[in-house]
Amino acid sequence: MILLLGFIVYALVTIYPCIRTGYYHGVVTNLAIVALFLFAMVHLKLFKNHTSTTILTTFMLNLILFFHFIMEVDWTIGMDAFWLFILIAPFITDYLAGAIYGTIAASSGLILSYLCFRTSMLNYLQPYGSNMVQWYPVIYLVTMIAAAVISYELTAYQIDKKVSDEKIAFYQAERTGRLKKLLSVYESNEQTIRKYKHDIRHFNRVLAGFIQNKEYDKAASYLQEFDSMLEGVTAVSFCDNAIVNELLTIYASRCQKLGFKPRIRAVVPERFAIEETDLTSLVANALENAVEAQSHLDQDKRALQVEIAYDGRKLKLMTKNPSPGEVAFKENGLPISTRPVQSGVGTAQIKAIAEKYGGVASFKLENGSFVVKAVLTCM
């Protein structure tokens, strides 16, 4: 709408010098252009379709210019400015309607140049130089191709940027969710520590009483009970890597809420050659599947073993947990999901990330335990 309005204002402004100089042929042409763009604005308002409006308006504009060229009797005026405008038309139409439909709209200019310079219609026009007559249609064709390529590249960039922005937004939301879960773990730990800090003097007095009375068995039992109470505090430092540490802390807390303590061994440096999003997806998917499976088992059967280590060349991940039931596998080695809504996205993502880093991932059922292994080359 803004572009059309700009053309209308320009056409109206140019009417004044035409009237002042008595160039009424130009007045008629400019009025026709104003009427055309007003029609285009109405068409766009009614149908809300940039493509059809652009194609229709461009063809009609070139038709108006065609009549303007062949009906011009004053050959001293010159039509170069009109032909220059036609030359930039492909960039405008591609901007409005895209590379394909914009090129269709711009083809009206090619038809006009061919009709005027390569047919007998040339005899009805003012004299042009041989360069103009011979090369303008070719130059216009090259301009159309260039405009289409530029428009295509810009569109592809915008699409890629949109996908990239959506991916970044997704991982930011995922990161925010993990941080909220981690914060809840910290808050829970803080409350537990405050409670024990308040009661520690009472525990010490009771323990001192047992020792003073030489009731060593009771003292040992009391210490064991106190030690088991401290297990309610979730470990928050498994390794140096912040992402792995966050995920292990979150899922260890979930395990404790399910009534069991996972066995975790993590030796992962703060930084190594892997994208953070890939590391997050790899570890989170493995832990999510393992912990989710434990919720379907009796509490006394729940267990989880996690090992993740980086040796300076390869990242090795292993999770092992009791399986709630038999697991069927596809031909590609991926397990078939037993959830009501089957997705299999988690295991497929683990496999894809491992292969991305020149590694492998395996999924097996061994003696009633589901084992996930992944090895990635990260140098």
pLDDT lower than 70: segments of the chain: 178-179, 182-183, 185-202, 226-236, 338-345
112 domain-assigned? yes
β-strand 314-322 against 305-310: which pairing, if any?
antiparallel
β-strand 305-310 against 263-267: which pairing, if any?
parallel
Structure token pair of residue 240: 């140096």
28-42 confidence digits (pLDDT tens): 999 999 999 999 999
Cβ within 8 Å of residue 301, ≥6 positions away: 322
Alpha-carbon gap, residue 201 to 178, rounded angstroms? 36
pLDDT of 11: 94
* Full domain range(s) for residue 10: 2-164
Question: Which is it for the CA torsion 213, 218, 224, 226, positive or negative?
Answer: negative
176 domain-assigned? no
Torsion angle defined by CA atoms of residues 28, 31, 36 and 38, in that order, rounded to the nearest 10 degrees = -170
pLDDT of 189: 61
pLDDT of 341: 40
| Residue 360 to residues 8, 163, 192, 364, Cα–Cα distance (Å) | 64, 27, 42, 13
**Nearest partner of 235 among 193, 175, 293, judged by Cα:** 193
Indicate the number of domains in the chain: 2
Given 164, 199, 222, which residue is the final one in a domain? Answer: 164
The CATH number given to whatever domain includes residue 265 is 3.30.565.10
pLDDT of 223: 77
46 domain-assigned? yes
Given 164, 187, 219, which residue is the final one in a domain? Answer: 164
> Strand, coil or helix: what is 239?
coil
Considering just the CA atoms, what is the radius of gyration of the chain in Å?
38
261 domain-assigned? yes
Return the DSSP state at 121.
G
Structure token pair of residue 31: 């009025």
212 domain-assigned? no
Are 159 and 238 part of one and the same domain?
no
189 domain-assigned? no
| Residue 238 to residues 12, 234, 247, 252, 265, Cα–Cα distance (Å) | 74, 11, 10, 10, 8
pLDDT of 168: 78
Are 156 and 238 part of one and the same domain?
no
pLDDT of 199: 62
Within the chain, residue ranges assigned H as helices are 2-20, 24-47, 50-71, 80-117, 130-212, 216-230, 242-257, 276-294, 345-356
214 domain-assigned? no
Please answer whether residues 134 and 97 qualify as being in contact, where contact means their C-beta atoms are separated by less than 8 angstroms: no
- In sequence order, what are the beta bridge partners of 370? 321, 365
Are 137 and 239 part of one and the same domain?
no
136 domain-assigned? yes
Are 376 and 238 part of one and the same domain?
yes
Given 105, 139, 164, which residue is the final one in a domain? Answer: 164
pLDDT of 342: 44
